[in-house]
Structure formats: structure tokens, C-alpha cells
Amino acid sequence: MKRREIRSDIAWATPSQISIHGLDLCKEIVGKIDLGQMAFLQVFGRLPAENENRMFNAMMVILIEHGITPSSLATRMTYCGAPEAVQAAVAAGLLGLGSVFVGSLDNAARMLQEALPDQNASVDLDALAVKIVTDFRARREIIPGIGHPFHKPIDPRTPALFQVAEETGFRGPYTSLMEKIGAEATRQAGRPLPVNVTGAMAAVASQFGLPWRICRGLAVAGRAIGLVGHIIEEMRQPMAEELYYRIEHEATAHARPAE
Amino acid sequence: MKRREIRSDIAWATPSQISIHGLDLCKEIVGKIDLGQMAFLQVFGRLPAENENRMFNAMMVILIEHGITPSSLATRMTYCGAPEAVQAAVAAGLLGLGSVFVGSLDNAARMLQEALPDQNASVDLDALAVKIVTDFRARREIIPGIGHPFHKPIDPRTPALFQVAEETGFRGPYTSLMEKIGAEATRQAGRPLPVNVTGAMAAVASQFGLPWRICRGLAVAGRAIGLVGHIIEEMRQPMAEELYYRIEHEATAHARPAE
Amino acid sequence: MKRREIRSDIAWATPSQISIHGLDLCKEIVGKIDLGQMAFLQVFGRLPAENENRMFNAMMVILIEHGITPSSLATRMTYCGAPEAVQAAVAAGLLGLGSVFVGSLDNAARMLQEALPDQNASVDLDALAVKIVTDFRARREIIPGIGHPFHKPIDPRTPALFQVAEETGFRGPYTSLMEKIGAEATRQAGRPLPVNVTGAMAAVASQFGLPWRICRGLAVAGRAIGLVGHIIEEMRQPMAEELYYRIEHEATAHARPAE
Amino acid sequence: MKRREIRSDIAWATPSQISIHGLDLCKEIVGKIDLGQMAFLQVFGRLPAENENRMFNAMMVILIEHGITPSSLATRMTYCGAPEAVQAAVAAGLLGLGSVFVGSLDNAARMLQEALPDQNASVDLDALAVKIVTDFRARREIIPGIGHPFHKPIDPRTPALFQVAEETGFRGPYTSLMEKIGAEATRQAGRPLPVNVTGAMAAVASQFGLPWRICRGLAVAGRAIGLVGHIIEEMRQPMAEELYYRIEHEATAHARPAE
């Protein structure tokens, strides 16, 4: 009962050959291209130019490791119960990369891309920034990509990423618009709301032409690498069992009878 | 009710600074090191030398993309039901990277590392290979890392990876032992059982000093990148709904009354 | 560095006693209450009255098994790769219970609960239904809980569930409002859009006072039981490997060279 | 490129009818059978007799709620990052139900079923228990299903479950063998090692004829219900953010410079 053909253009294999996005795995990939280029190939279906490669890698390395977070704790808790299923521990840590932490990346990219669907269009970016900020504030919604509760007064990752954008030709309408949104929000709110790392990454991803719906995917893939680092540390220097013990003890102290 | 200190040495942050394995994220990582080096840093806690970097990247790029597999199908099925939760779609595809497909990597690395705990020990590798093969066959267990049901007569990824090992100084006792196991198994079984990609990777990972328990982690992290590629394709050119329709139709045809 | 106390009121244990929502597990739960009552206890923090019990069970049993779906296929695909990690196979099948399939349950409950925050308020339900339908149509949004692409002209589960609601005293403002929404949508669209199972369950859950944000949780818990059934069948009568083989073959046929 | 038929015998649907294991969902399930019977139906493919129903429910209710555990903490951590994806929070909590906590259930059932493949065989259970205990001790492996680090001197759930087994006719060779293993282990070890809840459940599951490979599935399905309870509490009375804050603070204090 076929209704449509099933088709994938990513990869194929014969007994003697494996092709990924048109490249021969054994002759053109292994030993020839590196992990960053391979990730670019998976996302864009082609190899990066040199400047694209440097920019893409700069973005990806920021996504790998965020220290002790709810995500790395979920991985460690899972590893503690199922050390034989490392894949499950990584997956558990990825599952919380949702609206609260990583979602702001999609939201910022969406804001930029919906406001400026064509980056080559001739648009007054100052006026656009005023409109975006005014609209978000009118709807009492948080503007994604600006301000940071901890990295104050500025998020140090933003200038680092924008510096690479400068050097690789990735400054453009989206990075400008993002900065103008930060400046206008600062003006309207009367307190510093500079572009944070999420806003900077969303702007660069938009310059790359990445649809906002896939931005979270990059964050998820990057974090998978970081979570493996947490598993390695948890193997050698575990914290999950101690945490569980302490938390259970404190959380039930009010109810538990002395025995 | 503390019993032990909780401690992580991976990363720390202050409002103005972020440190990962002792490197300053903004000054020493972003724009300076690439995704492959960053992954190495997460796994080994230090940056790679040039030859280590080339070898590590060669291993990682093989792990990214394996085409239409149960893993990428689980990702596509999950994306079809929860397109707003890209992290869940990636996680679903990782969860099946267990004993059947990726487990052979741990198993091969374990076989090598348990047989040869110290790669600098003076050991007769030929005799060791005979013992390993004989023991596996006596237990009627499959020897991991040799033979391939599809890539016959040889797995083309093995010579590609071993060539890089040759060029980077990563040939050593584990790659030799793995090859000797393949040769001995071929002799005992009376049919070709050359080293497959899993065996080759397990040998290289062992040369790197990676404990076998963490080998699966590398495969899982790599595959997360590949699964993002499948989500991107599923967004543009979906197959999950068509598959579900066809499979449901065929699977219940014998029971469903005509209506 | 405590800022707040950590507290859980669900359960506590001493060496000789385990308490769950104030009931002694060994004396008041095991052998005394059944799975449906236990699930009610977990959700509401108390045991159900008889009519509540019958209504709650009627709702839960609908959620268990939906046959071959993207969800059960993700479970089977995962089991095929990691048969030793049954927990991962169940989890993979749950992950796609998102906006497309199960999200309509939350959406319908949200629609009802936001329109009628207090079910005891004196409100003209007919006028409310007209407003809801008109607003959704003006925003060109799909109205959740009505119509069904397959179960036509009516979803047979709706009268079955509403019959139990009738018999147990669970007909009320939310079930009425849901039916009026279906009738009004039918009128405005000019084609039959009766209440589907999702709308019926959302209405009953709202009668129970369940916040819409947790409705998906019931569906997820129920489906976990169903997915175990699929794993049992996949153990005995596997389909995942055959599917993977077929799909890979068809999906890459256009690209793969003859060999 | 079909090689085999794809077939599922669990459920089918027509526009007007839904059948699950041969029962009409709308006429024979909704309002007629409860959640415990439905779970039994999924696992055994038929409805339970009255004694089976009581025994099965007694086993299932024990599996639902275990308080603050690594599993419920993984769920809460995930919910904190992705509150919109309740399915992901439940899944994250299930993923750690592996070898350390729930695996002992499969292991105990496996031990019993491999020692006594046919429960009707005429076997000297005392001698069998001695052999099992002696063999485990010779291999320096932990004997599953006996002793408990917290519930001492006895696990109070064991007599509760065995009492129901007594009342429902579920005492038999496996419950006897399990008790004899506990007694023999106590004798050989010279310290009390009575049957714990895991051993009791494994024995009852074996009396039901459940293959050991599926025992973990029951635990996973039960826990999914419990994890929904933790999500409900986390919504109202969150702990994840406070925990993350505290743990990050303590874990990095040794490395973080004062600022």
C-alpha cells in the first residue's frame, strides 16, 4: 500500500563503498576532513569554505560544555543506575535541552528570521529593532538573546564570537539587527540588556542561512559530546550516589519518623 | 547530611570568565580550536598533539553517519510526533546504540584491553591471538571486531583507518593484536574474517589509552551529529508518516475486517 | 549554599516502613489497592471514590494501546539495537508523544480550562462555544478535540467514554462545552466535526480538576504500559530488522550504484 | 524488496471499531475493565482470572513509587529544562532503570528460571538452592534478590507480597526456591540475607510464567506512572533549580576564583 516513494539523499553503501553527501567515506573523508567539517557536511550537505569552517567551529565549540547543569546532572543520575547503557545516559542529558535553556537559541533565531526573512532585502534595521522590541514588550514577552542573569554586565562569549564573525566575513544584517535589538531593549528598559551568547549564536546561525527550527539541533549535537565528558568524570569521581543520598535525606526529613 | 564532597574538575564560570579543562573559553577556545580538538579536550582533558588530532578526527568522522538505520528511523519517527522537541528526536535515535550495533565496539576494545592490559608489556601477540580466538570459539561466542555481513570480502573502512594510523604513529600492539585475531579467526573458521571497522576503531581507541567502557560514548556523541542531519532531511522530505501508514496497513491486514 | 529547603511530600521510608502519600505500602497498598487506584493516588495524592475510580480507569485504558504507530515503531527500532536495555526502548517510544499526536489532549484541555477557569461559574456555555470556535477560526488554528481523519463519521471512543461519564456523575460543564464546541464547529465549517477521543478525554480530565499541563503525563504513563506489550511481541515476532532492511533499500535505490 | 511479512497481532482499527488483543475497545474495555486488567492484557494477551488479577496488581503497585531516587531526580532535572515536553521528563527518569537498580529484578528472575526451566519438574529445591548459592559465591558474584542495604533486618515488602501469593495460590516452586536461596545464603555468609522485594517479585513473576527478559519492562511501565507524580509535585513545589544551583556551587568551589 505505497502512497509515496521513500527517499533519502544522505548516504548509501555497497559492499565496497560508502558515500555520504556525495563524498566517498574511505577516500575523501577518513583522514582528509575533520569533525568540524564533517558536522558542517551533515548540516549543509556540502563541505565548508575556509571562512565558513572557522565560523562554524567557533559556534560549535561554545555548545559543548556548560559544566554542572540540570542536563549534566540528569546524565550522571542515569549513568549511576545504568552504567552499562552509556547511550541512555547521554540521551537523558539531552532531553532537558528544551524551552528553558536551549529554546532561547531557536527563539532568538526565529525572531531574527521572521523579522528579516531575506537578509539581502533593503530594510531599515534601526526601525526594525525598535518595532521588535516594542512588540515584545507590548506582549510582555521576554526578548530572546539579550541580557544574562549571571554573566553581567556582558556575556564574554558574545564579543569572542562576534570577533570571529568580523574576521571571517560573517558580520551582516542579522548580527547588526541583534545588536540593535540589544541596544534598543537597553534604552526602553533602562537597564543593560546586551546581546548574550544565545543572541550572538542565533545571529551567526542566521547569517549561515540555517532555519531557526534546526538551531536547537546544533546545540543538542554539541552537548552530546560534552555529556560524554561528564560520564568519563562520573566513572572516575562519582557524585550521583552522594547527591541522591543527600537530597532524599533532606527532602523527606519533615515527614520521616525517627527510627 | 554530607558524607563526601561533591567535586567536578571540568569547568567553572565567573560572571566574566568561563574555564573548560583549564582553558579560557573566550580567549583560548572560541576561534582558536575546532570541534575535533574540543571533543578531544572533553575526552582526554587536554588538547591533542598534531598526530593525535588527525587520528582522533579520522575515528570520529566514521561514527557520524550510517544512513537509514534503526537509529535514524527512531529519530525520524520521534520527530514526526514531536517536531517541537528536536532534543527528543536526537535522544530517541541514540537509545538503540546498544549491544547489537555499537556494543561490538566496546566488546572489541574490552577483548583487546583485557588480553593486553599494558600495551608496553613484552608479550607474544601471535600466541595471544591464538588464545583469544580459541577461547571465544570454545565459549561459542562471537569474536567482536571481525567479519561483516555486508561489507565483504573486506570492510573498506579498516584499511582507510589503519592507513591514517600508519601515518600518525598509531600502529602499535593493539592494532597488531586485532589483525592477528582476524587472521587466526580466518584460519580456525576456514572463511575470511578480516578486521571490520569496529575492530579497527577499538584497536585505535586502545592505542589512545581509552578505557573500553567509554568507547561507546564516542560513538554516541558522533551519531548525535549525524541524527541532526536526518532531522534536517525529514523536515524537508519526510518519510516517517508514509512508513507508519504502510507498516500499520501491512502488519494488521491479516486481522482487520474489510469495512 | 542553601537558598531554599528541598522537600518532597510523596514518599518516605524507614528500614521497616514505606509510606506513599500517607499510606503504608505494605499494610495499606500491596494486596489492598489495584493499579488504577495507585495511579490515581500518584496523580491526586488520595485514593479515589468508587465513581471516580471507574471514570479514571475508563480514561486510562484508552491510553494504553494504539497499535502500530510512530511511537511503537520507535520502541521496536530501539529494542532491535539495544535488547538489553528495555528501559531505553520504552523511553524511545514515549519521546514522540509530543505536539502532533498527544499534544492535542493538552491543547483541548487548555482550551476548555482557559475558557472556563471555574467549572462552577454561571456561564452561558452556548455563547462560550460560539466564541471559542469563532476565535480559533479567525486565527486559522485547528480546534483541538474535534474531527478525526480516520474514525469517521464519529470516533467510537467518544460515546463510550461519555457513557461512563454519564453513569459515574462525570457529565458536567466541560463535557457540555466540548460537545457544544463540536456542534458549533460543525455548523461553521459545514462538515461533521464531532468530539473525538482527545476532546472527550480532555473534557473528563477537566471535570476531574486536572490542570491541562499534566494531561500529557497521563497519556505518557499509559503508553509506557502499551509499549511493553510491543516489546514482548517484538521479542517473539520481530519486525524491526525487516523494516530497516526494506526502508534502507528503497530509500537509497535512486543513488546506489549497481554492484 | 520484501523478505518477510510484517505482522502484529496486538491491535487493529477500522473507522468504527478498535480491537485490542481480540477485545472491542469501546464495548469490552472502556468502563468494563480497569488499568490493572488492561496492563495484564498487554503483557499476557488475555484477561486475568480473579486470583491472577489480585496477584498481578499487588506486584505492580510496588513498582510505581520509590521516592527521591536518581530516576525521579533525572525526571525533575529534565522537566526544569523542558517543561513543555513532559514525555521527555518521564523518559529521562526511565533511562536509568538499568543494571544497578532494576536489573536485579531480571537477574533474580533469570537465576530462578535458568535453574528451574520447568516449574513442574520434580526437582530437589534444597539441593538446587545450595548449588546456586555455592556457584554464585565461587564466581564472587552478588546473588540477586536477597539482602538489602537499608531495609534491615528484613525488607517489609517481601512478607506483604508473599502473603498475597499465599492467598491467591501463587506460592509455588519459584517462591520456595527463592526462600531457600535466601536461607542458604544466610547460612553460607553467616549473616542475614533474607529475600528482598526484588527476589520476591522475581519469584512471583516466574510463577506467572513471565520470561525474565521482560520483567524489567513491568518495572519500567510502573515507574512511568510514579514519575508523573514527581512531575506534578515539581510543578507545584520545584526542587531542580535549587539543587542545580547548590551542586554547581559546591562542585566547582575548589577551582573557581573569587570574583
Query: Could you please report the per-residue DSSP string of A134-145?
Result: HHHHHTTPPPTT
Q: Compare CB distances from A12 to C9, C12, C256 and report the shortest one's residue.
A: C256
Q: Do D151 and C15 touch (CB under 8 A)?
A: yes
Measured from the Cβ of residue D69, the count of other Cβ atoms closer than 10 Å reads: 25
Nearest chain A residue to B67 by CA distance is A11
List chains adjacent to chain A, taking adjacency as at least 3 C-beta pairs closer than 8 Å: B, C, D
Please indicate if any CB of chain B lies within 8 Å of the CB of D256: yes
The predicted model gives A196-220 an average pLDDT of 96
> Is residue A134's pLDDT more than 90?
yes
Q: Pick the residue with more confidence: D67 or B104?
A: D67
> Is residue D1's pLDDT more than 80?
no
The pLDDT > 90 percentage for chain C reads 92
> Is residue B167's pLDDT more than 70?
yes
> A58: burial class by Cβ within 10 Å (0-12, 13-18, 19+)?
buried
> D82: burial class by Cβ within 10 Å (0-12, 13-18, 19+)?
buried
> Is residue B259's pLDDT more than 70?
no
Interface test with D, best of B1, B8, B19 (most D CBs within 10 A): B8
Nearest chain B residue to D16 by CA distance is B259
Question: What is the rounded distance in angstroms from the CA atom of residue C196 to the CA atom of residue C218?
Answer: 17
Predicted pLDDT of residue B1: 65
Nearest chain A residue to D256 by CA distance is A67
Long-range contacts of B18-23 (CB under 8 A, 24+ apart): B18/A156, B18/A157, B19/D255, B20/A64, B20/A65, B21/B45, B21/B46, B23/B47
CB B216 within 8 A of CB A83: no
D86-95 vs D212-236: helix axis angle to the nearest 10? Answer: 130
Residue B88 distance to chain C (closest CA, Å)? 6
Query: Could you please report the per-residue DSSP string of C84-122?
Result: T-HHHHHHHHHHT-STTTTHHHHHHHHHHHHH-S-TTS-
Please indicate if any CB of chain B lies within 8 Å of the CB of A209: no
The predicted model gives C170-176 an average pLDDT of 98
Q: Compare CB distances from B6 to D17, D91, D247 and report the shortest one's residue.
A: D247
CA atoms within 13 A on the CB side of B233: 25
Nearest chain A residue to D70 by CA distance is A77
Question: What is the rounded distance in angstroms from the CA atom of residue C186 to the CA atom of residue D196?
Answer: 59
Q: What is the pLDDT of residues C6-53, one digit of tens each?
A: 999 999 999 999 999 999 999 999 999 999 999 999 999 999 999 999
pLDDT band (50, 70, 90) for residue A1 = low
Predicted pLDDT of residue D259: 63
Q: Compare CB distances from D239 to A67, A84, A251 and report the shortest one's residue.
A: A251
Residues on chain D touching A73 (C-beta within 8 angstroms): 73-74, 77, 243-244, 247
D197-207 vs D50-64: helix axis angle to the nearest 10? Answer: 150
Q: What is the pLDDT of residues B77-130, one digit of tens each?
A: 999 999 999 999 999 999 999 998 888 899 999 999 999 999 888 999 999 999
Residues on chain B touching A9 (C-beta within 8 angstroms): 233, 237
Please indicate if any CB of chain D lies within 8 Å of the CB of B256: yes
Predicted pLDDT of residue B191: 95
Residue A103 distance to chain D (closest CA, Å)? 9
Q: Compare CB distances from D85 to B19, B88, B255 and report the shortest one's residue.
A: B88
> Is residue C115's pLDDT more than 70?
yes
Nearest chain A residue to D82 by CA distance is A98
Question: What is the rounded distance in angstroms from the CA atom of residue B187 to the CA atom of residue B93?
Answer: 38
The predicted model gives A41-58 an average pLDDT of 98
What is the 8-class DSSP label of residue A26? I
List chains adjacent to chain B, taking adjacency as at least 3 C-beta pairs closer than 8 Å: A, C, D
Alpha-carbon torsion, ordered B193, B198, B200, B206, to 10 deg:
-130
> Is residue A127's pLDDT more than 70?
yes
Cut 0.90: pTM above it: yes
Q: Do A7 and C87 touch (CB under 8 A)?
A: no
**What residues of chain C, 79 to 98, have a C-beta less than 8 Å from chain B?**
79-85, 88-89, 91-92, 95-98
Please indicate if any CB of chain D lies within 8 Å of the CB of B68: no
> C189: burial class by Cβ within 10 Å (0-12, 13-18, 19+)?
middle
Q: What is the pLDDT of residues D68-127, one digit of tens each?
A: 999 999 999 999 999 999 999 999 999 999 998 888 899 999 999 999 999 888 999 999
Q: Do D95 and A82 touch (CB under 8 A)?
A: yes
Please indicate if any CB of chain D lies within 8 Å of the CB of C103: no
Question: What is the rounded distance in angstroms from the CA atom of residue B70 to the CA atom of residue C245?
Answer: 9
Residue A219 distance to chain B (closest CA, Å)? 9
Strands C17-20 and C11-14, sheet pairing: antiparallel
Cβ contacts from A onto B, under 8 A: 289
Residue B127 distance to chain A (closest CA, Å)? 31
Residue B100 distance to chain D (closest CA, Å)? 16
Helix (H, G, I), strand (E, B) or coil at A239: coil
Supply the mean pLDDT for chain C: 96
Please indicate if any CB of chain A lies within 8 Å of the CB of B183: no
Residue B141 distance to chain A (closest CA, Å)? 19
Nearest chain B residue to A2 by CA distance is B246
Question: What is the rounded distance in angstroms from the CA atom of residue C59 to the CA atom of residue D214?
Answer: 26
Residues on chain C touching B87 (C-beta within 8 angstroms): none
Looking at this protein, which amino acid is placed at residue B188?
Q
Residue C31 distance to chain B (closest CA, Å)? 35
- Summary count for chain A: helices (H), strands (E): 11, 3
Residues on chain A touching B76 (C-beta within 8 angstroms): none
Please indicate if any CB of chain A lies within 8 Å of the CB of C16: yes
Q: What is the pLDDT of residues D21-48, one digit of tens each?
A: 999 999 999 999 999 999 999 999 999 9
Q: Do B240 and C70 touch (CB under 8 A)?
A: yes
Q: What is the pLDDT of residues C199-238, one digit of tens each?
A: 999 999 999 999 999 999 999 999 999 999 999 999 999 9
Cα distances from A25 to residues A151, A192, B146, B158, D124, in angstroms, run 42, 49, 20, 11, 60
Supply the mean pLDDT for chain A: 96
Of B125, B243, B114, the residue nearest B176 (C-alpha): B125
Question: What is the rounded distance in angstroms from the CA atom of residue D3 to the CA atom of residue C243?
Answer: 10
Predicted pLDDT of residue A170: 98
Give Cα A185 distance to the centre of its chain.
23
ipTM of the complex: 0.96
Q: Do C36 and D36 touch (CB under 8 A)?
A: yes
CB B233 within 8 A of CB B89: no
Residues on chain C touching D88 (C-beta within 8 angstroms): 95
Q: Which residues pair with B24 in a beta bridge?
A: B19
Nearest chain B residue to C85 by CA distance is B98
> Is residue B7's pLDDT more than 80?
yes
Q: What is the pLDDT of residues C48-89, one digit of tens each?
A: 999 999 999 999 999 999 999 999 999 999 999 999 999 999
> D109: burial class by Cβ within 10 Å (0-12, 13-18, 19+)?
buried
CA atoms within 13 A on the CB side of D192: 10
Q: Do B100 and C92 touch (CB under 8 A)?
A: no
Please indicate if any CB of chain C lies within 8 Å of the CB of A118: no
